[in-house]
Structure 1
Amino acid sequence: MADIRSLFATRLYHGALADHAPAVDPDELAASCYSVAEDDEAGQDWCEANGYPGYTSYASLTDLPWRFPIFADLVKCLDAHVAAFARDLQFDLADKPLTLEDIWINILPEGGVHGSHIHPHSVISGTTYVQMPERTSALKLEDPRLPFMMAAPTRLKDAREELKTFHSVPTRPGDVLLWESWLRHEVPMNMAEDDRVSVSFNYAWG
């Protein structure tokens, strides 16, 4: 009998904010996201200049935890989730913990997309979901080996999860997704009439 094993695993962490303290009120977090977006003229200008649909604070604000206490609480909660994921990944961090590098708001309106990308210079990236209306798009992850597959045939439609070339991850408000920052991902078009709201972040080492 042949021995067939899975090697070089790509891990995905899917949890709930409520799994770790402090408690973060989702309605207050949503209101804070919209409040920041309304006041952030630099962010609005950047989105317009770069053709970014909706709003992101990625290029304009670096101090969300200082501006709103709820973001400071959110970071404390995320720290615990990231630490748990790092243990699962069996990272040897020595005396250099993973620390928050940046955190930003995403408000994606109907018809908005966020193209395929990675997060270089970080170790763990992720998103926590604030507002996910019905029919909105799920995060789509890409097999990191895809550029090397060349002449390989496509996978069966009902292929096992770990063998699929792309994987979409349905989420609800209050969910947290974490992945290693080299994993390519995208947000397909938001087909819902309402905004898709999330807060994304990067953690670095050292």
Structure 2
Amino acid sequence: MLFEPTLLVRELAIYRGAQHAYRASFHKGVNIISGENSSGKSTILNLLAYGLGADISTWSEHAKLCDRVAVEVSLNGSIVTLSRAISEQSGQPMDIFIGDLAQSEQAPTAAWTRYPYRTSQSKESFSQAVFHLLNVPELETEASGKLTLHQILRLLYSDQLSPVEKIFREERFDTPALREAVGRLLFGHTMLIYI
């Protein structure tokens, strides 16, 4: 049975030029990325979170050698590929392709739709686009405006540098109103995310 909204990560591809620097398929349930210390596990997870919409701009030396990340996801059963250029500048846009990763690699640029990180008067943000595909209502706070995928991923994904006693991944601009809005969205409107 599929609950809505559900985001299921199906495949991850990290590119260096036209070549894959890393590619992995995922299945429903728990997926384990294993390796020795300093083998790149955290880099892979950071790139996965970034591909899903997290705003990350501090990269490992290995991540800086790569150009782009693409994540094939199932959004309420619809297959979509999300792609972002790897950059040290925050607020990068996201390209969205309706179809799987293999199809996206063969598709012309015109088959993709580019969404900015932030909403403008002429275009919705990629967070809003993904929320629409998930049938998640828009939630807005007085202090920070509309909720973003980055803000939700801060609760779902914690890196090694965040204190273990914190629920949210550490960030400079963190308000109680923002944390409350994320909590209301996730727990008032349950959203299942499988990786």
TM-score, normalisation: structure 1: 0.25
| Rg larger in structure | 1
